[in-house]
Homo-oligomer: A and B are copies of this chain.
Amino acid sequence: MSALDSALRAKLTEAPVAGLSTQLRRLGIHGATIDGLRSLAPGSKVVGLAKTLRYVPLREDLFAERGGGQNAQKRAFDALEPGEVVVIEARGQVDAGTLGDILALRAQTLGAAGIVTDGAVRDFATVAALGIPVFAAGPHPAVLGRRHVPWESDTTIACGGATVQPGDVIVGDSDGLVVIPPHLAEEVADRTLAQEREDAWIAARVTEGVPLDGLFPLNESWRAVFDAETEREADS
């Protein structure tokens, strides 16, 4: 899959996840948030294209075949392209790790944009300190073999209640994570930034003491004021 265009990446980096979620909703997509995870480094932002990885529940006979050595997990990490975000399906199991410090370091070394897992992370403090954005359901000391068999990569998965396909655009911040179908990413980003400008203007009015009634969302008369001021700024 092609990398994320740098202009688009810049827009998505600026766009808050809450705003992206709203614009997806306006396009009829309500089920596009990856829920229940948190960033290991509060305040960090992740933007990138999904590299998917699916784990299935531990079954000892299958683990014997597929769990050890250069398994699906390690192959996926070794194959990371710059700008990709690893997204792991771990069925929300919080009582076993899904990756540790060496895997996170490998991702960072290859220029990955981040890691998202709805399972747990081992070596939590070390991983948090690396700098690569990681969103997970929590920490846990156990290896993945306690609950999982690493199964396959680059297929459609479920993560945090959302379906993620390889190449989907993933954006995360302190509000959570959103999955954007790639062909909608530009439009959603543009609409979000436009709405952000409008919301910032509304926030300025609220700070001045203007009531929400008619202002948020903008009614006709307030929109006229907003349009006039915005035009003036654009002209100056």
Contact = CB atoms under 8 A, between A and B. Distances in A.
Nearest to A176: B141
Contact of A125 (B30, B43, B60): B43
25 contacts: A18-B97, A18-B142, A21-B142, A25-B143, A30-B142, A32-B59, A35-B94, A35-B140, A56-B158, A57-B158, A61-B184, A70-B213, A70-B214, A74-B212, A78-B211, A91-B91, A101-B199, A102-B212, A102-B216, A103-B212, A105-B207, A106-B206, A109-B206, A139-B174, A140-B175
Q: Is the contact region of chain A dominated by helix, strand, or loop, or is it mixed?
A: mixed
A16 B142 CA distance: 11
A51 interface: no
Interface string A109-153: 100000000000011110000000000000111110110010100
A33 interface: yes
Interface in A1-22: 16-18, 20-22
Given A78-B213, A174-B124, A163 B105 contact: no
Interface of A: 16-18, 20-22, 25, 28-33, 35-36, 43, 56-62, 69-70, 74-75, 77-78, 91, 94-95, 97, 100-103, 105-106, 109, 122-125, 139-143, 145-146, 149, 151, 156-158, 161-163, 165, 173-176, 178-179, 181, 184, 199, 202-203, 206-207, 209, 211-214, 216-217
Given A25-B143, A125-B174, A141-B175, 19 more contacts: A16-B141, A18-B97, A18-B100, A21-B141, A28-B60, A29-B61, A30-B60, A31-B58, A33-B95, A33-B141, A61-B181, A74-B216, A78-B212, A102-B202, A102-B203, A102-B216, A106-B212, A139-B174, A139-B176
